[in-house]
Amino acid sequence: MRISIWSTPILVVIAILITFAITAVPILLAGANPIEAYIAFVITPLTSPFTLLEVLVSATPILFTGAAVAIAFRAGYWNIGAEGQLLLGAIAAAGIGTVVGGLPPLVALPLMVVGGALAGAAWALPPALLRVRFGIDEVVTTLLLNPVALLLVNGLLHGPWRDPVTGFPESPRINASAEFPALIERSRLHFGFLLALVVIAVAGYVLGRTPTGLRLRAAGLSPQGARFAGINISRTLLGAALVSGAIAGIAGVSEVAGIQNRLTGGLSPGYGYTGIVVATLGTLTMPGVTLAALFIGDLTVGASSAARSLGIPSQLGAVVQGVLLLTTVALLALRRNRFRRTEGADTPSATGDVAPEAAPG
């Protein structure tokens, strides 16, 4: 394959550079030097063992949600509800985690992971059913269930699950046997990170090497074509939606069992939405999602330390994420148009470019 500036890795790097050029404006407004700021965002977190581990900790939930979103998008199912599915997984983990005291971790942990996955999938089910049965746009229904999930969390925390000891709106601490073990002593890096890598490896294998994965990708590239090829689109979409919800649910388990050890209202600062950034930046491939999650994790750690050292509000992290999403998807579209003009074919989605054709209805 010839190297061109349109090859995916170079394209993504260009997107990052354009993003940094655009976000230099708010950095200048904050009275800081953009070059210094970007060094603080990207390089500084990689220079000490402690911050390096924190990068992996930050990457853990968005590895899950990025994979969840990528799987759904590849099938042409626009699951924007990873945030709510994550919260349902967290609720399940906090619930199961408090009642498994007598069980050894080898039993308790799988119970929590499976419970969280089922809860996430259950939250993803109604929009998926409405889509495949009645043709109702899943974008709106998955989106609207996000605030509902957050209200459910808050309802539990202000009601039946309020901590009986402290009275804080936090659920009781989960049993020690339900906590994810630390991977490295005295660090916050936990078993969830390993689990995320396993999930991503399995998802990558299934997507790339199995008939199931082929059906899923075919449904996303061209629903009509896939239907003619005898693929059951409804079943494929339903499967993709449920797997996506399940993986997002495990993200919630991982945050409860690995970091918070209880359900809290601020459990997720939007990991479900960041999953969309990660999936797009990773061009919907599992290796891409892995790199993108690590990069966003790096930026997140960098943004919070730059807030202290350079006085740049840490909310800049969100600005960078949003602009990065816009530049990436714009460059991917420009590449698609370019191929269409030069080759007259509708093909470049082999790299997992988001297909615009998969409209509902």
Partner 1 sequence: MTFLVDLLAATLRNATPLVYGTVGETYAERSGILNLGIEGTMYAGAFAGFVTAWATGSPLLGLGAAIAVGLGAGAVMALMTVTFGANQHVSGIGLTIALIGLSEFTNRLIFAGGELQRIEPMPTVNPFGELGGIGAIFDQYGLTWVAFLVVVPAAWWLLQRSSFGLEVRAVGENPEAADAAGVNVVRTRYLALMLGGALMAIGGAFITLALLGSFTLDIIAGRGWVCVALVIFGRWRIGRGVIGALIFSLVFSLQFRLRILPGFGELPFELLLALPYLVVIGALALSGRNVAYPGAYLKPYRRS
Residues in contact with partner 1 by CB under 8 A are 26, 29-30, 78, 80, 126, 130, 134-137, 139-141, 143-148, 151-152, 154-156, 158-159, 270, 273, 276-277, 280, 313, 315-326, 329-330, 332-334, 336-337, 340, 354, 356-357, 359-361
Return the number of the residue (73 or 193) whose C-beta is nearest partner 1.
Answer: 73
Is residue 252 within 8 Å of 88, Cβ to Cβ?
Answer: yes
Measured from the CB atom, is 46 or 148 closer to partner 1?
A: 148
CB of 49 vs partner 1, minimal distance in Å: 30
Pick 76 or 239: Cβ nearer partner 1 = 76
Closest approach, Cβ 137 to partner 1, in A, equals 6
Task: Give the whole-angstrom CA distance, residue 266 versus residue 328.
Answer: 29
Residue closer to partner 1 (CB basis): 72 or 174: 72
**In terms of CB distance, is 84 or 258 closer to partner 1?**
84
For the CB of residue 121, give the shortest distance to partner 1 in the complex, in Å: 18
Tokens of 46: 């990689």
- Least Å distance, CB 42 to partner 1, is 18
- Tokens 């993003």 belong to residue: 19
Instruction: Give the bridge partners for 182, in sequence order.
Output: 190
Least distance from partner 1 to the Cβ atom of residue 157, Å: 9
Q: Hey, what amino acid is at 309?
A: S
Task: Tell me how far, at minimum, the Cβ of 242 lies from partner 1, in Å.
Answer: 18
Q: Which is nearer to partner 1, 105 or 126 (CB)?
A: 126
Long-range contacts of 19-22 (CB under 8 A, 24+ apart): 19/320, 19/323, 19/324, 19/327, 20/320, 22/323, 22/327
Are 123 and 245 contacting, i.e. CB atoms less than 8 angstroms apart? yes
Q: Tokens for 129, please give them.
A: 């059913």
Name the residue nearer to partner 1 (CB basis): 178 or 289: 289
How far is the CA of 103 from the CAs of 99, 112, 263, in angstroms?
9, 12, 20
83-108 burial, b for 16+ CB within 10 Å, e for fewer? bbbbbbbbbbbbbbbbebeeeebeeb
- Name the residue nearer to partner 1 (CB basis): 139 or 183: 139
Query: CA-CA distance, 127 to 82, in Å (whole number)?
Result: 12
Provide the β-strand partners of residue 190. Answer: 182
Q: What are the beta bridge partners of residue 264?
A: 170
- At 50, list the tokens: 């402690």
For residue 214, the number of C-alpha atoms closer than 13 Å in the C-beta half-sphere is: 6
**At its nearest, how many Å lie between partner 1 and the CB of residue 205?**
25
Q: Can you tell me the distance from the alpha carbon of 36 to that of 53, in angstroms, rounded to the nearest whole number?
A: 22
Residue 256 DSSP class: I
Q: Measured from the CB of residue 187, what is the shortest distance to partner 1 in angstroms?
A: 29
Residue 308 φ then ψ, to 5°: -80, -45
